[in-house]
Structure 1
């Protein structure tokens, strides 16, 4: 385990101990609520992790890099942006996916496009958004968000390349 994992887990454990010393009933109730929430997201989380693991296991880094790597240019960035807009992955799971993609040689720009579109575009929730906010507003918001997400990805890519060359 690395230091960050130990720090996070140690802080959580210390928090639980403090909560138990303060009010044992409330501490137990909060653990039960947290466990219930964890169990609700566990099936979806496991499915997403399995699909990502299979994808990364069966698709060679060269093929992946050909679609969304440095040489794919703006087309690859748009492709992964569309994939991010369509997928419905919780943001917390997108970060390990991003790390895996970076390890496979995918550009910072493409990974930033994936993360930003995952969090900014609501393709899965679009019907609800249309019903609540209206079709024109929902489509406009998602379209503008997509453009902004791609711009953010390009800025991140340029900034990371500049940082790596120093």
Structure 2
């Protein structure tokens, strides 16, 4: 099944390339940029799964979030999934004028 999907994708990409080379190159660059934006979250999930599999055996994980865990397993899975997708915190800078003003500053200020 996967091989068929890859074949169809490659065929359509080739067809698009011959129809309009510039649009195809532009769309591939856009797709790569989207992938680069998703990659940190994806790697975070992969690392978390790797650590969980290294620390716990599959039977323990299955008990906590498997079929027999019920709604508590769904809740635990949802919390773990949410935590993995939380962006890294940015530093909070505060200063005083007439009143305390706090605002989020980017981690790496633009140069």
Aligned pairs, number: 84
Structure 1 unaligned runs (5+)? 91-123, 125-166
TM-score (normalizing by structure 1): 0.44
Q: Provide the residue aligned with 1:15 in structure 2.
A: 12
Q: Partner of 2:90 in structure 1?
A: none
RMSD: 2.2
Once the two structures are superposed, residues 27-60 of structure 1 have per-residue CA deviations (whole angstroms, 9 ceiling, x without a partner) of: 0111011010001001110111111122123211
Which structure features the higher share of strand residues?
2
Deviation at 1:77, TM superposition (A): 1.6
1:79 corresponds in structure 2 to 72
Q: Which of 52, 56, 78 does residue 55 from structure 1 map onto?
A: 52
Could you give the per-residue CA deviations for residues 100-136 of structure 1, whole angstroms, max 9, x where no partner exists?
Answer: xxxxxxxxxxxxxxxxxxxxxxxx7xxxxxxxxxxxx
Q: Give the structure with the larger helix fraction.
A: 1
1:6 aligned to 3, 13, 29, which one?
Answer: 3
Distance 2:47 2:7 in 1: 28
Return the TM-score normalized by structure 2. Answer: 0.64
